[in-house]
Amino acid sequence: MRYVDKKVAPARFQSWLDLASEEWQPTYADLQNPQKHDVHESLLTEQGWTCCYCGQSIAFDNSHIEHFRPQETHKDLDLAYTNFLASCGRKFEATTPSHCGHAKENQFDEQQHLSPLDPTCEARFFYTLDGQICVSNPEDANAKYMAQLLKLDITFLRNRRGKAVQSVFDEEFLATVSNESLKKLIQDFRTPDSDGEFLNLGHVLARFAEQQLK
């Protein structure tokens, strides 16, 4: 899971919401372009064009607007921008194998959830050299629940993380790298490029580097 620094709702979307009256109350089903496109673009931008859950690079054509608290059980948050995230996989084309937003669907436990909006969410997991995701604290039931709910440790994602980690950190590098170099890598992995895009799985690489600090 990667941390998302939530911004304000896009202007055209907010103006559309402000049209609500006694005669008309907007619903998510009513949301169309250009306002819907603005929302999707805003989510992608604030997430650095990466999935809020797995951290893989995403764009318009391979992502969807995700309701963190499901529409089916939280109708009051149907149009709440604070409840919107961008998850990998198109809306009606499930990721194969299923993971992230498509795996979560309408499942949600208010007592056990961990949100990408929580600044502590990234530190509550660690990663192995082969890409396995583990909870930092074995007693952290919320982190365990979300990892299972989102299927973050399926072989498909584990292999992708392992490939990314091993492309940067090999045994020789790990044996000789200094804290100063690790801190520089962490900063680089957590900084978007000139187009506002984070590196694919950059938060995983940053966490792995943090784990090597002595």
Q: Could you tell me the residue range of the domain that residue 45 belongs to?
A: 11-211
Domain assignment of residue 4, yes or no:
no
Task: For residue 1, tell me if it sits in a domain.
Answer: no
* Residue 62 confidence (pLDDT): 95
Greater confidence (180 vs 95) lies with: 180
Give the mean pLDDT of 12-35.
97
Confidence of residue 90 (pLDDT cuts 50, 70, 90): confident
pLDDT at position 214 is 87
User: Is 90 exceeded by the pLDDT of residue 204?
Assistant: yes
pLDDT confidence band for 77 (50 / 70 / 90): very high
Q: How confident is the model at residue 147 (pLDDT cuts 50, 70, 90)?
A: very high
24-53: average pLDDT: 98
**Count of domains observed in the chain:** 1
Q: Is residue 181 part of a domain?
A: yes
Considering the domain boundaries, does residue 2 fall inside one?
A: no
pLDDT at 82 over 90: yes
Look at residue 213 and give its three-state secondary structure.
coil
pLDDT of residue 97: 84
User: What whole-number distance in Å separates Cα of residue 181 and Cα of residue 65?
Assistant: 37
Average pLDDT over residues 109-137: 97
The dihedral formed by the CA atoms of 136, 141, 142 and 147, expressed in degrees to the nearest 10:
70
Say yes or no to pLDDT of 91 above 90: no
Q: Does the residue 5 lie in any domain?
A: no
Q: CA–CA distance from 20 to each of 14, 24, 26 (Å)?
A: 11, 6, 6
Q: Is 55's pLDDT higher than 90?
A: yes
pLDDT digits (tens, 9 = 90+) for 133-143: 999 999 999 99
**For residue 93, what pLDDT is reported?**
67
Tell which phi-psi region holds residue 180, choosing left (phi > 0), alpha (psi between -120 and 50) or beta: alpha
Task: Indicate whether 200 belongs to any domain.
Answer: yes
pLDDT at 95 over 70: no
196 in a structural domain: yes
Task: Evaluate whether residue 139 is within a structural domain.
Answer: yes
* Tokens linked to 101: 């937003």
Mean pLDDT of 176-202: 97
